[in-house]
Amino acid sequence: MTSRRRILVLLLLVSLTQAFAAAQGKWFTAQNGAVVPQAANATPVIDYVFPTSGSGPGTVFIFAARDDNGWQDLKTLRIYFNTTAVPQGGCAMEYDVASGKAQVYDESRGGWMTDRFDPNTFFQFSVPTKGCKLVYGYAAGQSLWQYFYIIPLFRQPVGTVLHIFVSADDKSGATTGWVDSGTWTVQANQPPTNLSMTPGSGTGTHQGFTFTFADPNGASDIFQAAVQIQDASAQRQCNFQLVPISNFVSFGGQFGYTDYNPGVLTSQYCNLDLRQSWFVKDGNNLMVHLGIAFNAGFEGQKNVTMYAQDFSNAVAPVATMGTWTVGSAPGPTPVITLEGVTNGASFARGGVAPGEIVTIFGTGLGPDAIAYAHYESVYLGTYAGSTLVYFDDVPAPMIYGLAPQVSTIVPYFVNGTTRVRVEYQGRSSNEVVVPVVATAPGIFRSGSQAQGVIVNQDYSFNSDKSPAPRGSIITLFETGEGQTVPSGLDGILPQVGQWPKPAGAVRVLFGDVAGDLQFSGLTYAGVMQVNVRVPDNAPTGPSVPLVIEIGGNRSPDGTTVAVQ
């Protein structure tokens, strides 16, 4: 999922172990049984502080100290929120790297508290002092960096401008000194609110819902957001809880994380698909998208409530924000035909290939306004709005749903023939049996034109006004390449540098002349990028026929490229 996941990366840092021994002011390590002198001791530095400015009752702060001799060389990391670099009158804490314990300064208790705590063992440890209340903490060392992550709620008068003083020292006594890293203005806390639910009502057995919460102190002030879908008696319900600070999800007694273990959480009445659930912070707003499938036995109208709590324990009270009727909505039964199952790029018929984007034409397949599926982390969701497409009764990754047509990606498991049907708002279409072929390549084109969607070497789009010179490299996009190496995974967004290759051999023809293939690999779920050099003897003109051949099967005629 983007910037909203950077905090979790820091939270999940795993401490590394490395042995050091001190002698004559220098660090030594063993190599092949011998003690070898290393570089002279390096002075630590404060490498990262976030945020460096802002206002509110408190927020998430992240600090990173670097020691070029390794994070284990650090001794103490100190953080003072005050008008001057002293603990008195402010919010002060120290973290001892070796012991992994922290202590806070509290004037009401006579100074530094002797009872140290391990920030990593407290989810909401609520350490109160006169200057602030610590409600969250985490510390982790990795490579050269020691990270410290806290949420203080300040108790100084509203309008007080606190400087963010940070220092670090190592085991030899080398120190950064106090680094004035920014300011924070104390403001009174204001409670969060429940803003909206989209859609606010409807009918179906599957739906992607978006819930929006707001906090005047910023979305990062929201500690937890909760949604309940329940019948009037509240005896049958689906409960969802999100802790944005850690991406932690609780659903029906099961737990997960939206980034790191995408899958399906199940309960008696509902299933939550983490592959198509996400959240994003936008200023004061926290938007939470949930992909929910309702189980049999939960039919009927349900009330949908929202609730939020901030780090000061102020709440947006439980409020009913909409309704949803679980079951099949009244309306026409979706209808599809074998002829309506086409390649998503060329719209050719005749069979589908594993991993191919297909467009299915019919009636009653989706809403009048297009509904898109969502990528969550690296997974494409299996429904768009209330539309699903099944291959052999398995829901496939979706791209969009619309009344006359839907777009989906053929799962990689299909073989021989596959049974295809479309479901919208709980109403299932007829089933058609479609042949499965090894490959069914189709080149993406510019709408209804013959011109392919092609990028020239100078990054301009290929056209009759911007032709590709002979000898230059062009980039084209296709779908229907079939099985890949390594084996394809349904609905996965390929990671940078890890582009699955087509299992079949690839050729690109300019007229009857083969180009010099430079690269071919999946760069998006269902989409293969192909880089090819235009032959020196390629035909020229605004509409040179372009064909791609994969595993011996050719794309349909009719696609062109401009060559000069």
CATH superfamily, domain 3-186, is: Immunoglobulins (2.60.40.10)
The residue among 325, 374, 303 whose CA lies nearest residue 206 is 325
Asked if residue 14 has pLDDT above 50, the reply is no
Average pLDDT over residues 110-134: 66
| Two structure tokens written together for 264 | 């399906």
- What residues have CB less than 8 Å from 259, skipping those under 6 apart? 1, 5, 8, 247, 377
CA–CA gap between residue 148 and residue 137 (Å, rounded): 7
CA–CA gap between residue 107 and residue 428 (Å, rounded): 68
DSSP 11: H
CATH classification for the domain delimited by 442-563, as one of 2.60.40, 1.25.40, 3.40.50, 3.40.1130: 2.60.40
For 298-312, how does the pLDDT look when each residue is reduced to its tens digit (9 = 90+)?
999 999 999 999 988
Cis peptide before 467 (omega within 30 of 0): no
Q: How many CB atoms lie within 10 A of CB 175?
A: 15
Q: What is the mean pLDDT of the chain?
A: 86
User: Does 129 or 337 have the greater pLDDT score?
Assistant: 337
Domain 193-326 classification at class level: mainly beta
Average pLDDT over residues 11-18: 24
Predicted pLDDT at 118: 65
| Run of H or E including 6 | helix 6-11
Hey, what CATH topology would domain 335-435 get? Immunoglobulin-like (2.60.40)
- Strand segments (E) across 145-258: 145-154, 161-170, 179-186, 193-198, 203-204, 206-214, 222-230, 237-243, 248-251, 254-257
Where along the chain do its domains lie? 3-186, 193-326, 335-435, 442-563
Same fold, 193-326 and 442-563: yes
Q: Which of the residue ranges 29-43, 82-96, 268-282, 496-510 has the most confident prediction, judged by mean pLDDT? A: 496-510
Task: State how far the alpha carbon of 388 is from the alpha carbons of 224, 261, 288, 409, in Å.
Answer: 31, 23, 21, 11
Asked if residue 233 has pLDDT above 90, the reply is no
Asked if residue 25 has pLDDT above 70, the reply is no
Lowest mean pLDDT among 59-73, 115-129, 339-353, 354-368: 115-129
